[in-house]
Amino acid sequence: MLSTLYKKKLDDLLAICRRNLGEFNEKLIADAFKFSLNAHKQDKRASGEPFVIHPYEVAVIVANEIPLDDITVASALLHDVVEDTKFTYDDVKAEFGDTIADIVDGATKIEGMFENYEAKQIENYRKMLLSMSDDIRVILVKFADRLHNMKTLEYLNPERQVRMSRETMEIYAPLAHRLGLSRVKTELEDMSFKYLDRKFYKELSKKLNAKKRERDNYIKKFIEPIKKELNIEGFKYEIIGRAKNLYSIAKKMISRGKSFDEIYDLFAVRIILDTKDRNDCFTAYGIASEIYIPVPERFKDYISLPKQNGYQSIHTTLIGPEGKMVEVQIRTRDMHEVAEKGVAAHWKYKENISSNDKQMEDWISWIRELFDSSSRESTPKQIMEGLKLNLYQDEIYVFTPKGHLKILPVNSTPVDFAFDIHSEVGYKCIGAKVNGKIVPLDSKLKSGDQIEIITSKIKKPNQDWEKFVVTHKAKSDIHKYFNNERRQKIDEGREIWNKKLKKMKFTLSEDDMIKLFVRLKFDSIQGMYLSLADGLISADELYELIKDKNRLLNTEIDSPWVKLLEKNQYAKVKETEMNLFENYIKSARSSKTKIIAGGDVKDLMFSYANCCNPIPGEDIIGFISKTEGIKIHKKSCKNLSNLFLSDPQRLIDVQWPEQLEDEFFVGIKISGEDRSGMLNEITNVISGHSNTNIKSVSIASKGSLFDGTVILMVKNITHLNELIDKLRRIEGVFDVKRFEE
């Protein structure tokens, strides 16, 4: 039996569903409510209230804000069961069927995905987002979950408040925008803004509230003449007047460089017509523009040319009483439903999608394109940046020579247009005509432009295109092309080298190969293979250099090849600085700190990679080498992309333990004015901060300036950053930065 409190909550939820869902299965929702209540009965939230209140409130948000069907509401009630209780996916499946279990599973997997760029996990994200495109209810439940979490953010610590707010602002709000959920997007933006810039938020909120009565009176005065004329014409309508949301006002102030009092278009009026004839919207616009003077450049017709998320409305700005600008939106009731509830207002399962649901097909295509096979060629960070890039861009409307409409992001170029038509058109693009005139390929397109792409059968893409294209498809296709080309050359160079070694009956271990290419100043083994394939060095020349590998590893190299490498900027580090690190590298390898490895990896020895020298506090990842156990790299290490390309299965999750016994060596490069007492002041600052142990100092004067490298021991990244900050404050010091091999 349900208690009186929970019985009332269930009754309230069912009442909302009756109002917003039409026909639905009341027993399904009641059963889901009781299952959730039982599963979470021992749990509490950070606020101290029973945990079950959270899934209940999430279900209320779904039923109120983005109502779709009873399955979505039931899934919202159950969305935390698998993650936070003893019940499993199979338990939910047995009780409620495959569909609800899959939605709950998908919503669980989204949590935290956007902030984690680990290479081995990106495939899981790809599969999850593709499943989301098959059933949009996954993301709808997650939106409602995030909305309620943001409403209760005050109970978390400041660090988590900022982290969740940034993730919400960067991903969830733009994704809601992309799906046409304008009300959800606005709520998420304002709640994130509250924690990301508390002072600015409070200041704006106070000013907006102070003028609420004045604003309400003004809007009432503004809409009265419009209502009178609409009544005369016999329209059935609703007019809503409101102030714009705080975050949009803040953006206007920042972008225009104006104070709150200088922003005039703070008012927005929405005219919603109860009609099926979209031409009535233009009639209503004519009525409003007869009463108030319109601002011509602020007129936008999203009815004839809807946004990619299906949004339709007329936008105009009118000069109201006292010369104040008021933004006016005019739409039908159906258009308003789509504008507010977006994808939920017209979602149909794929087998039932009609020609009228093109925006749904576009949404599915967009998600699939973003995570299709070409994206496998990108790094995880590039894929997630592509997601962010495509979420929240304004749009332009351009046309093919035959008049077919293409919607592209603002600042798109002819190259973006070419790749939007087809990857092969992009690859073979040699020029473009815009409105009949040949233009540079990096020209910015404008709405209304008609573009013709000029192609050549033998043309291949230019890598410089990556610098100016803006669409994910163009960036991904260009990256894929050059990645494939690079891989083919690496394979070609590897084959050349292996044939040479086989011919000379010469063998090299993986460890020796790594040491040799470092001594020869290649940026990686792949770089060596590329040089062979490109003919920068022949296999005979390379073999002559390395055939006496013991001499090579222990003597200076005096070779035209090394000079050529330095000239071509293969040499990344000066030899003297490398030697400083090599003197201390063994101390890191004999560390007592036990790195925690994920998965089934147990009892493997580990060492820290020379190339990035990670220290506690930095995000790390492990690479299982063939001869040295697990190599620990920073996730930002420049060599990770090469390791990922060579064998992604050897990358594993690792993390620092909570308790650390060691100190870690690190190098600092410092430069500045060579004045009397400078060296003494530098060493005093270092040793005086947390008793930092200095292992080596190398200073070289150049006239009135000096450059130096200091090797020291630190506890973690915080220790290092504090030290660098103190050194930068020394009078006469110009630059201090961490040295990495």
First to last CA, the chain: 67
Count Cα atoms within 13 angstroms, Cβ side, for 334.
Answer: 8
Q: Which residues have a Cβ under 8 Å from the Cβ of 515 and sit 6 or more positions away?
A: 553
Catalytic residue among 11, 83, 495, 548: 83
Question: CA-CA distance, 506 to 2, in Å (whole number)?
Answer: 79
Burial track 258-270 (b if 16+ CB lie within 10 A, e otherwise): eebeeebebbbbb
Left if phi > 0, otherwise alpha if psi is -120 to 50, otherwise beta: which for 613? left
Count Cα atoms within 13 angstroms, Cβ side, for 307.
Answer: 25
Say what angle helices 525-534 and 510-519 make with each other, to 10 degrees.
70
Question: CA-CA distance, 386 to 367, in Å (whole number)?
Answer: 11
Question: CA-CA distance, 428 to 445, in Å (whole number)?
Answer: 20
Question: CA-CA distance, 621 to 604, in Å (whole number)?
Answer: 15
DSSP one-letter code for 260: G
Backbone φ and ψ of 599, nearest 5° = 70, -145
Question: CA-CA distance, 328 to 230, in Å (whole number)?
Answer: 15
- Specify the residue for token string 């620990």: 632
Left if phi > 0, otherwise alpha if psi is -120 to 50, otherwise beta: which for 436? left
CA nearest neighbour of 493 among 501, 477, 638, 544? 501
Tokens read off for 217:
């009176």
Catalytic residue among 31, 84, 362, 492: 84
- Separation in Å, CA 445 to CA 269, 395, 412: 31, 11, 6
3 state DSSP class of 294: strand
> Rounded to a whole number, what is the largest CA-CA distance in the chain?
98
Measured CA angle at 158 (ends 153, 161), to 5 deg: 40
Which residues face 438 on adjacent strands?
433
Sheet of 620-624: strand order equals 596-597, 651-655, 620-624, 630-634, 606-608
- Catalytic residue list contains 337: no
Tokens read off for 77:
């009630």
Question: CA-CA distance, 631 to 608, in Å (whole number)?
Answer: 6
- Catalytic residue list contains 357: no
3 state DSSP class of 609: coil
CA nearest neighbour of 10 among 24, 26, 21, 22? 26
Which residues face 652 on adjacent strands?
622
CA nearest neighbour of 489 among 523, 542, 524, 535? 535
Tokens read off for 360:
């749904």
CA nearest neighbour of 406 among 386, 420, 385? 420
Tell me the catalytic residues: 83-84
